[in-house]
Amino acid sequence: MRMDFERGGFAKWHDHKVLEYLLHRVIRRTDTNETAHNLINECGGFAEVFRAPKEKLTDIMGVGEETALYIRELGEFLRYYNGMRYDVNRLVLDSDSCEKYLLNLFDGVERENFYIICLDAQNRIIYKRRMFEGSFESMDIDITQLVRVAVKCDASYVVLSHNHPSGIAVASNADITATRTIERALGLAGIRLLDHIIVADGKCVSIKNEYSGTKTIKQRK
């Protein structure tokens, strides 16, 4: 397997073979083929293995504490690596890049989180911050704090985003009402809210579309 990897990497490998090879780093002198199959089957897919909580991993046949920790570390490394690819000093957030950026931002996040992303006049990300954690409908959103963050960054535009761990990518009435209120508050400071996006089950849904009917993330000219 090592010789195969050195000749061509993982490009032509099946998912279970890739995982089997990685597992050899922590489960030595043991056939890890069956464990790789168990992980993929129980977690629902190759990528889902690296998003699974440690407790779920250790319940799978062939996976102990050390192996579960190794898999979690690999998952965190992948998310960190993808985050570094989207250098906040260079990334232009448009309709295409926004979805990839947000899907990576919320990848593996099990609780509901709310982010503010501040952009300059060229739609480049200049700052991002997790503002709240918990249930969005029960969050006491400090709009003054949101506006203060955007003003301090000298932002021209703002994108808001929160995830739905339930996997239901539908904006609630509370989502829409809060978005309108925040949009007005930012507008008073001369800052435009480009969108508020829900991330759920590998999808991105625009809340502003719910009441404007248009695609709101600004494209770079």
In a domain, 199, yes or no: yes
In a domain, 220, yes or no: no
Q: Judge whether residue 138 has pLDDT over 60.
A: no
In a domain, 221, yes or no: no
Q: What band does 38 get if pLDDT is binned at 50, 70 and 90?
A: very high
In a domain, 218, yes or no: no
For residue 22, the model assigns a pLDDT of 93
- Domain containing residue 44: 2-83
Reported as type and span, the H/E element at residue 74 is: helix 65-85
60 and 25 assigned to the same domain: yes
93 and 189 assigned to the same domain: yes
120 and 195 assigned to the same domain: yes
Cβ 50 vs Cβ 71: under 8 Å: yes
58 and 100 assigned to the same domain: no
- The CATH number covering residue 127 comes to 3.40.140.10
For residue 71, the model assigns a pLDDT of 95
Q: Judge whether residue 154 has pLDDT over 50.
A: yes
For residue 220, the model assigns a pLDDT of 43
| Boundary (domain end) residue, out of 37, 52, 83 | 83
Q: What band does 65 get if pLDDT is binned at 50, 70 and 90?
A: very high
Q: Where are the beta strands (DSSP E) in the chain?
A: 113-119, 125-133, 157-163, 192-200, 203-206
CA distance 156 to 120: 5
| Boundary (domain end) residue, out of 83, 116, 139 | 83
In a domain, 7, yes or no: yes
In a domain, 120, yes or no: yes
- The CATH number covering residue 8 comes to 1.10.150
Domains in the chain, number = 2
Checking phi first, is residue 125 left (phi over 0); if not, alpha (psi -120 to 50) or beta? beta
For residue 73, the model assigns a pLDDT of 93
110 and 195 assigned to the same domain: yes
Cβ 17 vs Cβ 39: under 8 Å: no
| Residue-wise burial string across 42-62, b where 16 or more C-beta atoms lie within 10 A, e elsewhere | bbeeeeebbbbeeebbeebeb
192 and 103 assigned to the same domain: yes
Q: What band does 66 get if pLDDT is binned at 50, 70 and 90?
A: very high
| Boundary (domain end) residue, out of 63, 83, 103 | 83
Report which DSSP code applies to 174.
H
Q: What percent of the chain has pLDDT over 70?
A: 86
In a domain, 217, yes or no: no
98 and 207 assigned to the same domain: yes
- Mean pLDDT, the chain, rounded, equals 85
- Least confident span in 46-50, 100-104, 125-129, 133-137: 133-137
8 and 99 assigned to the same domain: no
